[in-house]
Amino acid sequence: MARRGVSVITYKILTLSIGRSYSFLLTICSSLIISI
């Protein structure tokens, strides 16, 4: 059970970091499209 909880926590951290980097890339792409 403890190992499963740790995996859930790491999964949440991974999804959060991936989501942040994805939104960051989206904002960069949108700003580039606007500047063109």
H helices of 1-36, where? 2-35
Check residues 1 and 9 and name the one with the higher pLDDT. Answer: 9
CA separation for the pair 32, 36 (Å, rounded): 6
The predicted structure's pLDDT at residue 1: 55
Tell me the residue range of the domain where 6 lies: 1-36
Chain-centre distance for alpha carbon 30: 17
In this structure, what DSSP letter does residue 1 have? -
* Alpha-carbon torsion, ordered 9, 12, 16, 18, to 10 deg: 110
User: Domains in the chain: how many in total?
Assistant: 1
Question: What is the per-residue pLDDT across 4-28, written as a single tens digit (0 to 9) for each?
Answer: 888 999 999 999 999 899 999 999 9
Residues in the chain: 36
